[in-house]
Structure 1
Amino acid sequence: MKGTLRYMSPEMLDGSLNLVSWKLALTQADVYSLGLLLWEIFSRCSDLYADHQCPEFQVAFLDELGPNPTLDELRSMVVENKLRPKLPRDWNKNPQLFKTLWETLEDCWDPDNEARLSAQCAQERLCNLLPVPLNLLAEGTI
C-alpha cells in the first residue's frame, strides 16, 4: 500500500481492500480520505463558529496520535476502535447546516466501504448547503 497513513481508509489499514473490484474499492477508499479532508477544511470555516473564530489548522487525529502516527496506532484507532475526528463543539450554531454537514462527513468515513457515499453524492449534499447554486458562481453570473 502506498499513501499517507493518516488518510488511509480502514480497509487499507487492515489489508482487507478488495482487489478483485479494485476500481470501486479504491474509489470508496478515496471517499474516506475525502471525508477527513472535508473535516479539516470545515474546521477552518469561520462561519461554522458562533464567534466566527476558528482554531488553528490541524490534521485529523493530531490530538489523539500526534504528528507522525504509526500504522499500528492508526489501525487500532480507525479499524479496531472505529474512531473518527471529533466534532468541533461550536459547529452547532446552525442546527440544520450542522446536521447535514456532519451526516455527510460520517457517511464519507463509514467503516463499511460499501456503505460510504459516492463522491457525487457528497458533492450534491455539499452543494445543497450553499445559499447560491455552485453552477451560478462558476458561470460568473453572480
Structure 2
Amino acid sequence: MKKLLDKIKGRVQPSKSYTPLEINNNIEEISSIKQFKMLHVCGQGTFSSVYKAEWTERGIIVAAKKVLALTTNEREILDRLKNEHIIETYGTILQSPDHYIIMEYAAGGSLYNYLRSRNGDRLTSEHFYRWTEHATEAVRYLGSIHIAHRDIKSPNYLITENQLKLCDFGTAKFSKKGTSMTSQEKGSAAWMAPEMIRDRLASEKSDVYSLGVVIWELFTGGIPHAGADNHYQIMWLVAVNGVRPTIPEDCPAPLRQLMKDCWEEDRYSRPTAEDLLQKIRTKSLGLPLFV
C-alpha cells in the first residue's frame, strides 16, 4: 500500500453569421489572435486559460482557449470530432507564442457550476434523463471512433441551449486496447477509475467509470467524494479501499445498479456507453417520468 501511495504522490473570410456546423467542416488555421476581441476570462487552469471572445470578421462569439502547445495528437483528435454533444472546434492559432484553440462558446457554463448553483436541489426526472443521455452520447461517440477522453468529469461538460456538450481533449488519445498516461496527465481524482490511479492505464472503459460519477452527480446534485481531505486521499480510497460515491437510499434500484455497473473494479465487466444509452433512452432507470 505504501508503494501505491508513493506512486500516486509522485505524479503529482466574409463578414456574416455562421452556425457551428457551417464553420467546422474542417478546422481552420487562423493566422492571428488579432482577429479576436477578448471580452473576459471564462476559466483558468494550470496549463491553459479560456476567454470569451468576439471573432470580429465573422461577428460571432467564441471561446478562445490559450494553451502552452497544441500537440499533433490533439489536433488529429479535434479534426475527427463531429457530434452534437461535443463542443465544436472552429480553428487553431499556432503562431508562437500564441497557441489558441477557437471553439463554440457555451453561455451556460459548466455542468459542475450549474449543479452548485442549485444548492442541492435535484433535477427533475425529465431533465435528468435528457442530460444523462447527452453526457452518455458523447462518451459513446468517442468510443465509436476509438478515442479515450481520459478526463470525463462534470467541469468538462458545458451547457449550451439546454444541451450538454463535452469539451477539453488535451489528454485524449486514440486507443483500441487502452493507453498509458504520463505523469503530466493525471486526470481528476474524484472521477478517475482505479486502473488510472494504480496503473496509469486509461481506456474507453475508464471513461465509462468516470461517466458513472457524472451520472451520480446529475442524480444527487452533489460533489463526488466531498468528505475526503484531498485528492491523494480520494485516490487511496478508490484504488485501495474500493470506495465509490455514496448512492442515496431513495435512488431507484435500476439507476443504482447502472452506477454500480459503471464502477466495477474490473474494467472489462463495465458496460459500454451504448449499453447505457439503451437504458437511458427507454427511460428504464426507475425514475418517475413526470417529476
Deviation by residue 1:65-84 (Cα, 9 ceiling, x = unmatched): 15xx223x123211111111
- The equivalent position to 1:58 in structure 2, one of 222, 228, 234, is 222
Number of the residue aligned with 1:108: 262
Task: Among all aligned residue pairs of Structure 1 and Structure 2, give the percentage whose two residues are the same amino acid.
Answer: 30
- State the secondary structure of the residue aligned to 2:186: coil
Determine which structure has the larger strand proportion and give its number.
2
1:26 to 2:203 alignment: yes
State the Cα distance separating 1:130 from its structure 2 match: 5.8
Deviation by residue 1:11-43 (Cα, 9 ceiling, x = unmatched): 0011252xxxxxxx5100100000000000011
Contact in 2 for aligned 1:108/1:122 (Cα 8 Å)? no
Number of the residue aligned with 1:78: 238
Q: Which runs of 4+ in 1 moved over 6 A?
A: none
Contact in 1 for aligned 2:208/2:262 (Cα 8 Å)? yes
Structure 2 runs not aligned, ≥5 long: 1-184, 286-291
- State the secondary structure of the residue aligned to 1:90: coil
TM-score by length of 1: 0.64
1:87 to 2:247 alignment: yes
State the Cα distance separating 1:116 from its structure 2 match: 0.5
Deviation by residue 1:48-71 (Cα, 9 ceiling, x = unmatched): xxxxxxxxx321111x315xx223
Counterpart residue identity of residue 6, structure 1:
A
CA distance in 2, matches of 1:87, 1:8: 17
Taking CA–CA contacts closer than 8 Å with sequence separation of 6 or more, which of the two structures ends up with the larger relative contact order?
Answer: 1
Structure 1 runs not aligned, ≥5 long: 18-24, 44-56, 92-97, 132-142
Contact in 1 for aligned 2:216/2:259 (Cα 8 Å)? yes
TM-score by length of 2: 0.33
Aligned length: 101
